[in-house]
Structure 1
Amino acid sequence: MIGRIRGILVEKTPPFVLVDVMGVGYEIQMPMTSLYQLPETGCEVNIYTHFVVREDAQLLFGFANKDERALFREVIKANGVGPKLALTILSGMSAQQFIVAVNEGDVTALVKLPGVGKKTAERLLVEMKDRLGNLEFGQAMSFSVPVAGATHVIVEPPSASAKSDAISALIALGYTQAQADKMVKGVYREELSSEELIREALRSIA
């Protein structure tokens, strides 16, 4: 089991990041709520992970802290909810928003997310109500760790491909091409980075 990764953030291609640990690059999938908090590439990061082994792949999922990871682990225990759908759910709403939705039985908040139908939402709310009692949230979310000897980090302006990158990320999270196009088009501004576009697009359906 790989429970934590600490290394240099090399790439951010939502929902994936690449972290270099002593020359080995770990590709990690992260919910957008966690990925938003990452520093610029070139910084050292500390990411809590959940390791999934399948017949056809070995996957790493990353989180801001142990609480986020604990919630993910509870969500994937629900019937009909795998890691990819759990990633989508926790990208579309924060852990706190999810807890509120469960406590209030808010089906509407969940069915707005791709891959979550009414039956899945209702089942998830019922199953999670009991499990959430065992979770306590309150850890501060902090990824960045100073890199010894680092003098500066180059912050590049938003890429010309930010729009297409944001659309690709939303599709990877489960949205259709048409949905992703519409969401990004509705919030697009030239000065926004791909991460900012994704954040605004997801907020637009909240």
Structure 2
Amino acid sequence: MIARLSGALAEVAADHAVIDVGGVGYLVQASSRTLSAIGPVGGSVMIFTEMQVREDSMTLFGFGSAAERDWFRLLTGVQGVGGRVALAILSVLSADELRKAVAAGDKTMVSRANGVGPKLAERIVRELKDKVGGLVLGPAALASAPTTGAASDAVSALTNLGFRPAEASAAVAAANDELGDGASLDALVRLALKKAAR
């Protein structure tokens, strides 16, 4: 099983990236959220992965954080949710937004994803409601984790650069406090990197 990849980003497309690890290019399917935060082609990247093996295919899925990977595993455990549908959900909702939607039973939020109708959204919310507590981010970490879209994307960007999720969350939270909630993703990432390097 391949748990993560570290290497050079060789290519980024609409639904996948190719990561060069020691001369071998791994094609990794990923959410648009992860692909937008992965960094420039040619740069070094670390990405969490999950491999799905079927009779006729082997597919590697990539994630910007362990929390996103955990949600992917939970989502694909629901009947009717395959890898592509799970990625569609993770493209429109961050791990934290998805946790809140499931905890609140908000099927409308989940149904915003392509390929997710009302019935499937209801099934996802119903089946995952009791499983939300078992994710990588515990209640204490969630309380201090950044909740704005730009902040959660900044955390994802830092984890892609190799920072541990707790380090990334702390650095982005400190940057967010200094810059305010209206800060852009670029400004947050720059300041968070400075704070993480201290």
**Aligned equivalent of 1:114:** 114
TM-score normalised by L of structure 2: 0.69
2:37 partner SS: coil
In 2, Cα distance between equivalents of 1:104 and 1:66: 22
**Aligned equivalent of 1:60:** 60
**Aligned equivalent of 2:193:** none
Deviation at 1:25, TM superposition (A): 0.5
**Aligned equivalent of 2:6:** 6
In 2, Cα distance between equivalents of 1:108 and 1:68: 20
Deviation at 1:136, TM superposition (A): 3.7
In 1, Cα distance between equivalents of 2:106 and 2:74: 18
The amino acid of 2:161's aligned partner reads S
Contact 2:66 2:136 in 1 (8 A): no
1:36 partner SS: helix
Deviation at 1:77, TM superposition (A): 0.5
Contact 1:43 1:144 in 2 (8 A): no
Contact 2:70 2:136 in 1 (8 A): no
**Aligned equivalent of 2:34:** 34
Contact 2:63 2:69 in 1 (8 A): yes
Q: Does 1:133 align with 2:112?
A: no
In 2, Cα distance between equivalents of 1:112 and 1:144: 29
| Runs of 4+ with >3 A deviation | none
The amino acid of 1:14's aligned partner reads A
In 2, Cα distance between equivalents of 1:48 and 1:24: 17
Matching of residues 86-97 of structure 1 within 5 Å: 86-97=86-97
Cα-to-partner distance string for 1:92-149 (whole Å, 9 max, x where unaligned): 111111111111111211222221111111111011101111114258432126xxxx
In 2, Cα distance between equivalents of 1:65 and 1:87: 13
Aligned residues: 145
Pick from 131, 143, 149 the counterpart of residue 160 of structure 2. 143
TM-score normalised by L of structure 1: 0.67
**Aligned equivalent of 2:191:** none
Deviation at 1:37, TM superposition (A): 1.3
**Aligned equivalent of 1:69:** 69
2:50 partner SS: strand
Cα-to-partner distance string for 1:19-46 (whole Å, 9 max, x where unaligned): 1111110000111222221110111111
Cα-to-partner distance string for 1:150-182 (whole Å, 9 max, x where unaligned): xxxxxxxxxxxxxxxxxxxxxxxxxxxxxxxxx
In 2, Cα distance between equivalents of 1:110 and 1:65: 20
Contact 2:76 2:82 in 1 (8 A): yes
1:55 partner SS: coil
Gaps of 5+ in 2: 146-154, 163-198
1:116 partner SS: coil
Contact 2:16 2:28 in 1 (8 A): yes
Using CA pairs under 8 Å that are at least 6 residues apart, name the structure with larger relative contact order, 1 or 2.
1
The amino acid of 1:144's aligned partner reads L
Q: Does 1:50 align with 2:67?
A: no
In 2, Cα distance between equivalents of 1:112 and 1:67: 20
2:41 partner SS: coil
Contact 1:9 1:42 in 2 (8 A): yes
